[in-house]
Chains A and B, each alone.
Chain A
Amino acid sequence: MSLSLKELSNLLGFLQEDEVVNQQFDSFTSALQKTGFTKQDHFRVGCSVVILLQHKDLLPGAHQRLAAIYLLYDMYRSEPVSANPFAAVFVHLLQPSLEDKSSPQHLLYPAHFGKIPPISQQEKAFLSQLISSPNKDLLKKTPHAVLSNKNGVTDTINNHSYDVSGLQVSLVEKQSQLTSLNKAGVSCVIASPDVHDIATNGDEKSSQKVMEALLTGNHAPSKQYLRPAFIRPTPPLHPCRDELVWMNPMDTTRHTFMWDMNMTQNTNTEVKRLMAKAFRSALTVPQQNQLIAELNSDQKLVHHVGLTPAKLPELVENNPLIAIEVLLMLMQSSQITEYFTVLVNMEMSLHSMEVVNRLTTAVELPTEFIHLYISNCISTCETIKDKYMQNRLVRLVCVFLQSLIRNRIINVKELFIEVQAFCIEFSRIREAAGLFRLLKQLDSGDADTSKK
């Protein structure tokens, strides 16, 4: 918004008192163009002009001032006055000012900061005419003519009361769209005449210097404004906790690249693949046969097919036959107890029962394992909600128990009370009743033998 040094001198040259005095107003436009200001520059020029007007000492000549005011109008002549960015200046100037009556001290020390000093009646008349109804005659005048027109004063006073209310309303309307923060700015240049420094008073050069300082440069005061500024504390640094990296030596020599030892070993990838599949879904009969054959061919292979205790339930559910085979193979391994624990704790199902049943017939299982499994089954039966499933499961358990008892794999005595309670609870089911009878039979048989 500031001017360059050249532009400033151009502008000042244009506003020279001697130059302006007898220049017709309508020639201003072209003259301004001649000095090199285009439409885009107008706002900057206008801003500078306003500052010059605010400080009377910088633009002392009466004609100059009038010309400057006219310039503000002229630059935006093509648009309606209300669209003129400097319309507020006109409103201010045309207001009936109280300052007229004030003491002459103000000349020495401008009390009203940031306000353009009042203008004479003649000027007012001219300005109001200019704003309300500009005509060619008016523009034919020169600043000198306006200022010296003593007659006109009375005329215009009579004819016009400088009614600017319309303009004012439109201005207020415009400003209401602005935030109050934006409306709050005031000029940051304060006149502070040094009355004691008489030597430089009225010095042409000094005022030139001041104007340069005010209006040019990147940080020209004309660009700036004073308005309430909020204190915006900078956020302090986020507290630093455990953020820095402490380094401890790490022994990286332990990690070496591995040679693939299985190279050219006709490895059991196929077995592994089948096994991996077996965890997911039921295998076809040929696949099962192949897998079992492969596993049987190499006793150690079973350790290398990716079977872990955690995966046993999946295998049992999907391929109970394979699970049985594999478990039989693993009987000698140290991990077998882990497999058993998993098996006992897995959800009870036909498949798991089948596996356990087959296991009991094939090898001798630890009794506590079987007991645990049975009580697990019983409690599952008791807690299950679905009636249909319950019936099914109870039947299964009963048959399972009967077979265990008949094969003398478990000793009924140790589980007698538990099983009996189970039978009584589900006595409505035929198999349970059968089991109960079997129990009684055994009991009496035992009693008989003991009697003997």
Chain B
Amino acid sequence: MSTDTNTVKPSTSFTEDEQHVAGNAHNCFRAGQFDATLGILKKLQKSHSNDARLMHNRALTEFCKSGKTKVLDFKKSLVKIQKLLQQSNKEEEDIVLNTEKNNYISLYYNQALLFYNLHQYSETEVILGHLYENLDGSEETYLLKIGLLLIDTYLFTYNPEKAGNLISVLEKNFLTNEDATKRSGNNDEKAKSTPTLGMAEAESLKVHLRYLKTLCCLQTKSIKSSKREIKSLTNVYSNSGGGGQQTNIVQVASVFLKSNFECVRSNYHKAYKLLGASPPPVATNVANGALQEGISTMYYNNLAVLHFGMGKHNIGSFYMQKALQENDAAVSSATKQHHLNNSSGNSRHQQLSTAKPLCVLNLNRRFELAYNYGLQLLYSGNPAAAFDSLLLAVHAFHANPRLWLRLAECCIHKCTTCASAEGKMKGGSHTKKSNSAFAMIGSGTNRKVVINTSLPPLGTKSNNLTTPLPTLEFASVCLNNALFLLKEAMNGISWDTVIDIKKNNGSKSDEDQAPELIIACLPGAPLSGNDIIHLYASVLANNAFVTLTLGNGLLALEYSQQLLSLPRLSGCNRYLGNMYAAEALVSLDRISEAIQHLSVEKISTVSLEIDNNGMKSPGSDDGSVKSGQNNKAHNHNHVSQKATEFVSPWHFPSNINCAHGYMILNLANAHCLRSEHEKAQRLLRQASSLVSARQAPPQALLLAVYLNLQGGGNGLVTALLMLRHNSLVVTPQQTSFAAKFPKLVNGNGARPPTGNNSSSFESGSSGGDTNSAAPVNQTRLKSSTPQPVAGGQTPERVVKAKNNEGKKRNRR
């Protein structure tokens, strides 16, 4: 190769003959006679063995000849030609090199298009960006081609601003003249202007650009302009209604847009009505026009998105499944179709029939679908399946920090819900979930009560970290990835600037001053401002949880402290951060520090929304956007609340009281560890008044039992009773069980036993200090629980209890 470097430059110029021949080659190529084209090119190459353009056209022809199936070969040869060019320009500087690229626009454009079809949009963006920047004004056909592809790419990578700019550039360059001529009816002017486009062409371009513009508006979420664009677009469509097939597609497209518009405004029901009212996509065997292909996939996908928005995750995942099926069907049928069209008695047909042509590769949107499906599954409480689906998506979108967080969430929820599901199985549907708080072993004198201390272990040990399984270990890998991606994207930018930008957005004036930090999260919309900080916080919270569960207290402390030091936090994350920090500190034996974290006053809400510090103000158009977002935010809040309730029954407190209760329980735990049992008892009582009996976590019971066991003789009995009745408080009727040992039991109940089914709860939990403790609050709760397990109370014993109670009172 090295010897060729000099010959790349057109050292030998082409003769006129050769130029003529080359023209023939182009004609053959356009006519689809690839074999003939190749023949000519080969002949030409004999005298110009290293001409880059020749090589490029030959590669292109070969690619087209294969029915656009030899994607990899084409890609390779393009790269090879580029390398050749680069080598010849080695001594030049970068800038020169970039302009040099524009000498070979076709080469780079084709490469970009290849990447585009392979859904590698960032590569496409880079290549086309360079080409576009260095384009000199004269090359109008190139400008149009590059511009259109670049717009599409920007739309895929969520760059609506850039796309919008480009659209207006194209409009200016290609449409203004036509408009002017149309208005004035003056044909002279048109003739004078560069007639790059015919009338019909210009018209179709106009419609196309309109369509793209609408997509832009939808992406920027500006309600007003979207509305306007959609309206004008539908007008255009209805005007241009002509051929049957075409209108059908156009109709579908406009329905999609309208529905998308409502979806952006969070009017999911309306969007659903719009989309559902459109005729369900017919399975088209007439593969005509790219708009048509895969439309049913999109249809089901969008339906799924709408249902997700409405919080109906199960229906959503059903539709998602359908979309995936449609996608597969579309891909296979398109492949078949393609080969039918191209076979024409070709002997190689058989061999090629499995190779997918480029247009099919483009059609295939498996990874995006997998991403959507995974999210639906995760929210519908099926983390294991969600994990598999998202794992597929991560192949394509590994640079998306949010996706990594979702994967981790799958792992976490898989591990935690498995645990609770087991509990449910054991407990049956009627009994309380923590019915398995203890087990009876043996009988007679040998009878033992075994407290079920182990909340089922969450981490599975000795797992290879790199194998993707929904384990907590893998979750930690995912979270570290997410953290790394976020940190890299922020690249030393302080949180203040991230948020300041958000502030400036309100006034809109100095928006250009600081470039807004945007983190791309393909295939979803990118993040900016508060969303970034929120995501960062969630990643940290999850990471703290995982590391804590895996037993790495030091790291968990680090993460939770980082979390708490963020300048803006959702109530939920603040709560979690404090809880995790406290537990991590306890595991590090820094109990007094832990206690500081467990102050209830700090927590005023556990909502998932970030507290905005009263920063919703902006004006007209922006305002409407904001309100839309708020509306949605509210919706989402609602939705996710539902989801969490569904996914983790007691893991996360559903309201502020409950959250406080949990926190106080942890505080009690901390005091208990410092052997401050009295204080722990008091806190326990306080907590149980905050947490409804149904939500009481098993830890509370265990702590109560523990405290009583530590308390000495009387406590033991109370502890046993608590276990039996699965409640934090022991009623006099229950204490009567222990009345056989009058010395040991010191109940204060004067209430006569009322029967097994209704038991009254008293705040005084038990033991020696029940006497001193005034009943702080008397909550009556109906416990519909049947008496658990053998060894409960028998009528005989109740009677005995009655007798004994009398005695007790006397003694007091």
Which A residues fall within an 8 A CB radius of B? 55, 57-58, 103, 105, 109, 111-114, 179-181, 184, 186, 188-195, 197-203, 206-207, 209-210, 213-214, 219, 221, 224-267, 269-270, 272-273, 275-277, 279-280, 303-308, 335
Query: Could you tell me the distance between the alpha carbons of A241 and B63 in the complex, rounded to whole angstroms?
Result: 42
Question: Is B371 interfacial (CB-CB < 8 Å)?
Answer: yes
Within the complex, what minimum Cβ distance (angstroms) separates A389 from chain B?
Answer: 28
Within the complex, what minimum Cβ distance (angstroms) separates A265 from chain B?
Answer: 7
**Complex interface residues of chain B between 531 and 564 (CB less than 8 A to chain A):** 531, 534-535, 538, 541-542, 545, 548-549
B672 touches A247 (CB 8 A): no
Q: Which of A112, A114, A198, A251 contacts B713 (CB 8 A)?
A: A112
B157: chain A residues within 8 A (beta carbon): none
B636: chain A residues within 8 A (beta carbon): 239-241
Question: Is B9 interfacial (CB-CB < 8 Å)?
Answer: yes
Query: Could you tell me the distance between the alpha carbons of A188 and B93 in the complex, rounded to whole angstroms?
Result: 75
A57: chain B residues within 8 A (beta carbon): 445-446
A253 touches B290 (CB 8 A): yes
B376: chain A residues within 8 A (beta carbon): 244
Q: Supply 18 A–B pairs (Cβ within 8 Å), ascending by A.
A: A111-B713, A180-B674, A197-B447, A213-B441, A221-B441, A233-B579, A235-B573, A236-B640, A237-B644, A237-B647, A243-B375, A244-B524, A246-B260, A248-B253, A255-B148, A264-B18, A264-B48, A276-B92
Within the complex, what minimum Cβ distance (angstroms) separates A397 from chain B?
Answer: 32
A272 touches B60 (CB 8 A): no
With A210-B441, A235-B576, A306-B136 as contacts: A247 and B291 at CB distance below 8 Å: no
Q: Which of A111, A233, A261, A266 contacts B13 (CB 8 A)?
A: A266
A192 touches B451 (CB 8 A): no
Query: Could you tell me the distance between the alpha carbons of A200 and B445 in the complex, rounded to whole angstroms?
Result: 8
B640 touches A240 (CB 8 A): yes
Within the complex, what minimum Cβ distance (angstroms) separates B304 from chain A?
Answer: 8
B301 touches A245 (CB 8 A): yes
Question: Is B295 interfacial (CB-CB < 8 Å)?
Answer: yes
Within the complex, what minimum Cβ distance (angstroms) separates B510 from chain A?
Answer: 23
Q: Which of A109, A201, A251, A306 contacts B99 (CB 8 A)?
A: A306
Most buried by B among A186, A213, A237: A237
A266 touches B100 (CB 8 A): no
Query: Could you tell me the distance between the alpha carbons of A421 and B719 in the complex, rounded to whole angstroms?
Result: 101
With A228-B673, A246-B260 as contacts: A279 and B95 at CB distance below 8 Å: yes
Query: Could you tell me the distance between the alpha carbons of A207 and B148 in the complex, rounded to whole angstroms?
Result: 83
B741 touches A113 (CB 8 A): no
B290 touches A231 (CB 8 A): no
Query: Could you tell me the distance between the alpha carbons of A280 and B93 in the complex, rounded to whole angstroms?
Result: 9
Q: Mark B696-731, 1 if CB is under 8 A from A, else 0.
A: 010110110110011011001001100000000000
Query: Could you tell me the distance between the alpha carbons of A265 and B19 in the complex, rounded to whole angstroms?
Result: 7
B64: chain A residues within 8 A (beta carbon): 257
B608 touches A239 (CB 8 A): yes
Query: Could you tell me the distance between the alpha carbons of A206 and B447 in the complex, rounded to whole angstroms?
Result: 9
Query: Could you tell me the distance between the alpha carbons of A390 and B702 in the complex, rounded to whole angstroms?
Result: 86
A267: chain B residues within 8 A (beta carbon): 10, 103
Q: Which of A189, A234, A303 contacts B450 (CB 8 A)?
A: A189
Nearest residue, chain B, Cβ from A220: B450
Question: Is B223 interfacial (CB-CB < 8 Å)?
Answer: no
Query: Could you tell me the distance between the alpha carbons of A237 and B741 in the complex, rounded to whole angstroms?
Result: 51
Query: Could you tell me the distance between the alpha carbons of A261 and B60 in the complex, rounded to whole angstroms?
Result: 13
B710 touches A198 (CB 8 A): no
Within the complex, what minimum Cβ distance (angstroms) separates B635 from chain A?
Answer: 10
Query: Could you tell me the distance between the alpha carbons of A60 and B211 in the complex, rounded to whole angstroms?
Result: 89
B100 touches A273 (CB 8 A): yes
Question: Is B53 interfacial (CB-CB < 8 Å)?
Answer: yes
**Complex interface residues of chain B between 138 and 159 (CB less than 8 A to chain A):** 138-139, 145, 148-149, 152, 155
Within the complex, what minimum Cβ distance (angstroms) separates B28 from chain A?
Answer: 11
With A231-B662, A254-B148 as contacts: A272 and B106 at CB distance below 8 Å: no
Within the complex, what minimum Cβ distance (angstroms) separates A38 from chain B?
Answer: 23
Question: Is B379 interfacial (CB-CB < 8 Å)?
Answer: yes
A304: chain B residues within 8 A (beta carbon): 136, 138-139
B29 touches A259 (CB 8 A): yes
Q: Which of B148, B372, B442, B545 contacts A210 (CB 8 A)?
A: B442
Known: A249-B298, A260-B57, A263-B53; 16 extra A-B contacts, CB below 8 A, are: A188-B453, A189-B449, A190-B719, A200-B444, A210-B447, A237-B647, A243-B375, A243-B524, A247-B302, A247-B365, A251-B211, A258-B105, A259-B26, A260-B106, A267-B10, A279-B95
B579 touches A111 (CB 8 A): no
Query: Could you tell me the distance between the alpha carbons of A68 and B11 in the complex, rounded to whole angstroms?
Result: 100
> Nearest 3 CB-CB pairs, A to B?
A200-B444, A210-B442, A179-B589
Nearest residue, chain A, Cβ from B454: A224
With A200-B446, A264-B22 as contacts: A236 and B572 at CB distance below 8 Å: yes
A306 touches B102 (CB 8 A): yes
Query: Could you tell me the distance between the alpha carbons of A193 and B717 in the complex, rounded to whole angstroms?
Result: 12
Q: Which of B100, B297, B531 contacts A276 (CB 8 A)?
A: B100
B538 touches A270 (CB 8 A): no
B372 touches A202 (CB 8 A): no
Question: Is B113 interfacial (CB-CB < 8 Å)?
Answer: yes
Query: Could you tell me the distance between the alpha carbons of A327 and B590 in the complex, rounded to whole angstroms?
Result: 77
A233 touches B302 (CB 8 A): no
B244: chain A residues within 8 A (beta carbon): none
Within the complex, what minimum Cβ distance (angstroms) separates A197 from chain B?
Answer: 5
B709 touches A260 (CB 8 A): no
A55: chain B residues within 8 A (beta carbon): 448
B26 touches A261 (CB 8 A): yes
B302: chain A residues within 8 A (beta carbon): 246-247
A308: chain B residues within 8 A (beta carbon): 134-137
Query: Could you tell me the distance between the alpha carbons of A306 and B450 in the complex, rounded to whole angstroms?
Result: 84
Question: Is B569 interfacial (CB-CB < 8 Å)?
Answer: no
A109: chain B residues within 8 A (beta carbon): 741, 744
A233 touches B652 (CB 8 A): yes
A259: chain B residues within 8 A (beta carbon): 26, 29-30, 57, 60, 106
Most buried by A among B9, B137, B256: B137
Q: Mark B63-99, 1 if CB is under 8 A from A, else 0.
A: 1100000000000000000000000000011011001
Query: Could you tell me the distance between the alpha carbons of A236 and B113 in the complex, rounded to whole angstroms?
Result: 41
Query: Could you tell me the distance between the alpha carbons of A192 and B741 in the complex, rounded to whole angstroms?
Result: 13
Q: Mark B577-588, 1 if CB is under 8 A from A, else 0.
A: 001101100111
**Complex interface residues of chain B between 485 and 524 (CB less than 8 A to chain A):** 521, 523-524
**Complex interface residues of chain B between 379 and 425 (CB less than 8 A to chain A):** 379, 402, 405-406, 409, 412-413, 416
Within the complex, what minimum Cβ distance (angstroms) separates A359 from chain B?
Answer: 21
Within the complex, what minimum Cβ distance (angstroms) separates B746 from chain A?
Answer: 13
A253: chain B residues within 8 A (beta carbon): 289-290
A233: chain B residues within 8 A (beta carbon): 575-576, 579, 651-653, 662
Within the complex, what minimum Cβ distance (angstroms) separates A248 from chain B?
Answer: 5
B449: chain A residues within 8 A (beta carbon): 189-192
B442 touches A206 (CB 8 A): yes
B672 touches A228 (CB 8 A): yes
B549 touches A255 (CB 8 A): no
Within the complex, what minimum Cβ distance (angstroms) separates A215 from chain B?
Answer: 11
Query: Could you tell me the distance between the alpha carbons of A184 and B677 in the complex, rounded to whole angstroms?
Result: 12
Nearest residue, chain B, Cβ from A227: B706
Nearest residue, chain A, Cβ from B215: A248
Question: Is B242 interfacial (CB-CB < 8 Å)?
Answer: no
B542: chain A residues within 8 A (beta carbon): 235
Query: Could you tell me the distance between the alpha carbons of A240 and B403 in the complex, rounded to whole angstroms?
Result: 11
B294: chain A residues within 8 A (beta carbon): 249
Within the complex, what minimum Cβ distance (angstroms) separates A280 from chain B?
Answer: 6
B107 touches A252 (CB 8 A): no
Within the complex, what minimum Cβ distance (angstroms) separates B545 from chain A?
Answer: 5
With A227-B706, A241-B632 as contacts: A255 and B149 at CB distance below 8 Å: yes
Q: Which of A193, A198, A229, A263 contacts B699 (CB 8 A)?
A: A229
Nearest residue, chain B, Cβ from A109: B741
With A190-B720, A252-B362, A277-B96 as contacts: A243 and B525 at CB distance below 8 Å: yes
Query: Could you tell me the distance between the alpha carbons of A55 and B444 in the complex, rounded to whole angstroms?
Result: 13
With A179-B589, A181-B587 as contacts: A105 and B669 at CB distance below 8 Å: no
